[in-house]
A and B are shown apart, each in its own frame.
Chain A
Amino acid sequence: MIPEFEKFKRFKAKNLPKEELLAPGHRACQGCGEVLALRMAMKALGKNVIVCMATGCMEIITTPYPQTAWEVPWIHIAFENPASVASGIESAMKVLRRKGKISKKHVDILAVGGDGATSDIGLGWISGAFERGHDFTYICLDNEAYMNTGVQRSSCTPYGAMTTTSPPGKKSIGQVTWKKNVPGIAVAHNIPYVATASPAYFLDLMNKVKKAALVKGPAYIHIYSPCPTGWGSAPERSIEFAKLVVETKVFPLYEVIEGRYTMSRKISKPKPVQEYLKGQRRFRHLDEEHIVYIQQRVNADYEKLVRLSEMT
């Protein structure tokens, strides 16, 4: 058990922080799941944090100079490197505290990247930071494609999905590869805390962010984030999809604390994946055969996770 969790007080509907550290007025699309997740994460972290952000939608929509939505210190350097920037900040604060040049008080450090920044271009940078053991939290806001550049596929884009670089056609069904297991890669670094979250389960999300911040050393949270613009889904249905993705076992919620898997939400009566896939234009072209394949693989992946949770 992680000793820092002893002082952990769970967020409940009654004790939600009122303060908005990601101020309204930013330029996100209607129904953006990322900005919603980020807002909750910031509420969970509170004011005593420094945020390092990758280039992407969240960076663009929150900081068109001279405006900023950030009520906490925030830095953006480039696309692939928020984990390295966080490493630099953490190292700097460590030595400056030792030398008595800044206050001894602990400050949380959060690095944020989209699925492209995390699973593709920045993976080596994240791996380096995890391996070195910096005390920081990395959040991947996964909307399953490069949305900021116009919906191109990433290695987190789900099987069969239509994007502008994985278009379905006579010779393709769209994305031909299965979603990369980034939380699994994080776990393989033996870091103390890894979790998945969905903005539909906002208390679960906030509690996981708080735990990630409390833990000493690197922590990783992979947050599923609906993107109506990129997915061709109705903005008002974002939270519904964020719920359905869990209920269909497509995106299971779990925690991995010091290598031990725990299912955050066991799905005993799963809904068929079709319920999740319909209503999203990116999956509209899929026929029965593909959906059967997706269902089988979703079931198998979920079973694997359950077995891991039983084993550890």
Chain B
Amino acid sequence: MAKRVGIEVSIALAEAVKLANVDVIPAYPITPQTHIVEHLSEVIANGEVDAEFVLVESEHGAMSCCCGSSAAGARTFTSSSAQGLLLMSEILFIPGPMRFPIVMAVVNRALSAPISIWNDHQDIMSQRDIGWIQTFADTGQEAFDLMLHAFRVAEDRRVSLPMIVNIDGFTLSHVVEAVELLSQEEVDQYLPPFKPRYRLDPKKPITMGPVGIPEIYSEAKVAHNEALKASKKVILQGWKEFADLFGRQYNPIETYRSEDAEILLVTMGSISETAMTAIDTMRDKGQKAGLIKIRLWRPFPGPEFRKAAGKAKILAVVDRCLAPGAICGPVGAELRSLFYKVPGAPKIFNFIAGLGGRDVTVERFEEMIDKATAFAKKRPKELYEVIGVREK
């Protein structure tokens, strides 16, 4: 039976990996991801799970090792953050087209320079196009549940793609929350053993990772992209079965008090919790405000988002990432593309907030809603504004 405990979110996430009966974990320490791999080292040392922890010499080595492990048919997990994620960047583009279902927890953190260990989404946004399925957790329970969902979806033979679960560094990873941990029997009911279609085996020799000559390269890239897009069906199915078994339903796009909303905040990750409080405050003041939370970032659930936006007139889109020199932030740009020339599309304004651990408070969200409302009447010079920057 599941048990509800007060637990640090990193530890809860690591418990999910343990319950998934993981085989190989190649990992390298980086703040704020460390508690996850420390806990996994402990459970392996205590014999709670039979797995190999490969103490690699760098994150690049970690992801390279993950590729080898997954190719050999092992359930493979790693975790990283910020500079570490970027050091593995070269290899992150490879398991997608090679169809290795590696599962990774990215504990989101700001990028240098200046060096910062605190939270934002600049790390994962810089790796947006690596071709992995990417989800975002808002709470500790979601981090635990989405981890199990990730193994299930990634390893499904119809998918066979790598998958990232994003959790915010410190503001989510290091807080103690009430989390319902599923039992081994419950997890086993949901997550079947990994049975790869292909693996490195001298009895059945295959060549993995050959040269993509110009006659075949485009086809290989398109095949990967098609597989990523088609994975949505399995992602949804995975969430439905999770709900059927354990009662918690997840959706690619989540909404909060959005039905009759005229203005919608759009968030990703743990700041959504604060955003919900802000929406309640706005509603108390009589403003028709609501919230959209993006849970599935890749493949981007366009139709679900359009449906969730309903008849809202304004979207105040929050990006936790500054894209220097760009028209707006990455989430803002995504949604502008989605609604381009759609009849009755909402006006979209982009707010960059919470960089490098700067708190995004209820007041800040109210400020965004007020500003977006004003911008809708008088178009601003720029399509985005960085919120809460000191002038002096």
A and B: interacting chains: yes
Q: List residues of A whose CB falls within 8 A of some B CB.
A: 47-50, 52, 59-60, 63-66, 68, 70-78, 80-81, 84-96, 98-99, 101-102, 107, 124-125, 127-128, 131-132
Interface residues of B in 324-346 (CB under 8 A from A): none
22 contacts between A and B (CB under 8 A): A63-B211, A65-B213, A65-B216, A68-B210, A72-B205, A73-B208, A74-B207, A75-B67, A75-B200, A75-B207, A77-B68, A77-B209, A84-B56, A84-B61, A85-B68, A86-B68, A88-B26, A88-B69, A89-B68, A91-B74, A124-B57, A125-B58
Cβ-defined contact, A75 with B73, below 8 A: no
Q: Which of A63, A65, A66, A73 contacts B201 (CB 8 A)?
A: A73
Whole-angstrom CA separation of A81 from B95 in the bound complex? 14
Cβ-closest 10 pairs across A and B: A88-B68, A128-B57, A84-B64, A92-B74, A63-B210, A92-B72, A81-B64, A88-B69, A85-B68, A88-B65
Given A88-B26, A88-B54, A128-B58 in contact, is the A63-B64 Cβ separation under 8 Å? Answer: no
Given A87-B56, A88-B24, A92-B72 in contact, is the A68-B51 Cβ separation under 8 Å? Answer: no
Q: Which of B51, B72, B94 contacts A89 (CB 8 A)?
A: B72
Whole-angstrom CA separation of A99 from B22 in the bound complex? 11
Given A72-B202, A91-B54, A95-B51 in contact, is the A77-B210 Cβ separation under 8 Å? Answer: no
Cβ-defined contact, A76 with B209, below 8 A: yes
Give the Cβ gap from B63 to chain A, nearest Cβ, in Å. 8
Instruction: Report the number of A-B residue pairs with Cβ-Cβ less than 8 Å.
Output: 161
Cβ-defined contact, A95 with B208, below 8 A: no
Whole-angstrom CA separation of A99 from B50 in the bound complex? 8
A132 to chain B: which residues have CB within 8 Å? 54-56
Whole-angstrom CA separation of A149 from B50 in the bound complex? 43
B66: nearest residue on chain A (CB-CB)?
A88
Whole-angstrom CA separation of A48 from B201 in the bound complex? 9
Cβ-defined contact, A64 with B210, below 8 A: yes
Query: How many chain B residues have a CB neighbour from A under 8 Å?
Result: 45
Given A66-B216, A92-B73 in contact, is the A87-B65 Cβ separation under 8 Å? Answer: yes
Cβ-defined contact, A75 with B209, below 8 A: yes
Q: Which of A59, A60, A96 contacts B74 (CB 8 A)?
A: A96
Q: Which of A74, A86, A99 contacts B205 (CB 8 A)?
A: A74
Q: Which of B94, B202, B210, B213 contacts A78 (CB 8 A)?
A: B94
With most chain A CB atoms within 10 A of its CB, the pick from B193, B201, B211 is: B211
A74: nearest residue on chain B (CB-CB)?
B207
Given A70-B205, A81-B91, A89-B200 in contact, is the A94-B52 Cβ separation under 8 Å? Answer: yes
B65 to chain A: which residues have CB within 8 Å? 84-85, 87-88, 91
A125 to chain B: which residues have CB within 8 Å? 57-58, 60-61, 64
The yes or no answer to B71 lying at the interface (CB within 8 A) is yes
Give the Cβ gap from A122 to chain B, nearest Cβ, in Å. 10
Given A75-B71, A102-B73 in contact, is the A96-B23 Cβ separation under 8 Å? Answer: yes
Q: Which of B69, B205, B220 contacts A92 (CB 8 A)?
A: B69
A87 to chain B: which residues have CB within 8 Å? 26, 54, 56, 61, 65, 68
Cβ-defined contact, A91 with B64, below 8 A: no
Give the Cβ gap from B42 to chain A, nearest Cβ, in Å. 17
Interface residues of B in 164-208 (CB under 8 A from A): 193, 200-202, 204-208
Q: Which of A60, A72, A93 contacts B72 (CB 8 A)?
A: A93
The yes or no answer to B273 lying at the interface (CB within 8 A) is no
B51 to chain A: which residues have CB within 8 Å? 95
Cβ-defined contact, A85 with B67, below 8 A: yes
Whole-angstrom CA separation of A96 from B199 in the bound complex? 12
Give the Cβ gap from A42 to chain B, nearest Cβ, in Å. 12
Whole-angstrom CA separation of A89 from B85 in the bound complex? 22
B28: nearest residue on chain A (CB-CB)?
A128
Q: Which of B52, B58, B212 contacts A91 (CB 8 A)?
A: B52
Give the Cβ gap from A253 to chain B, nearest Cβ, in Å. 30
A93: nearest residue on chain B (CB-CB)?
B72
The yes or no answer to B90 lying at the interface (CB within 8 A) is yes
Cβ-defined contact, A89 with B69, below 8 A: yes
Cβ-defined contact, B69 with A107, below 8 A: no
Whole-angstrom CA separation of A84 from B91 in the bound complex? 12
B210 to chain A: which residues have CB within 8 Å? 63-66, 68, 76
Cβ-defined contact, A60 with B67, below 8 A: no
Give the Cβ gap from B196 to chain A, nearest Cβ, in Å. 10
A125: nearest residue on chain B (CB-CB)?
B61
Whole-angstrom CA separation of A124 from B206 in the bound complex? 28
Whole-angstrom CA separation of A90 from B26 in the bound complex? 12
Cβ-defined contact, A81 with B73, below 8 A: no
Whole-angstrom CA separation of A60 from B209 in the bound complex? 11
Whole-angstrom CA separation of A281 from B64 in the bound complex? 38
Give the Cβ gap from B352 to chain A, nearest Cβ, in Å. 33
A71 to chain B: which residues have CB within 8 Å? 205
Whole-angstrom CA separation of A81 from B54 in the bound complex? 15
Q: A76-B209, A85-B68, A131-B57 are in contact. List 15 more A-B contacts (CB 8 A).
A: A52-B68, A63-B210, A73-B200, A74-B205, A76-B208, A84-B26, A84-B60, A88-B24, A89-B200, A91-B26, A92-B23, A92-B52, A92-B73, A96-B73, A96-B74
B67 to chain A: which residues have CB within 8 Å? 75, 77, 85, 88
Q: Which of A49, A60, A76, A88 contacts B202 (CB 8 A)?
A: A49
A76 to chain B: which residues have CB within 8 Å? 208-210
Q: Which of A60, A63, A95, A128 contacts B23 (CB 8 A)?
A: A95
With most chain A CB atoms within 10 A of its CB, the pick from B72, B193, B206 is: B72
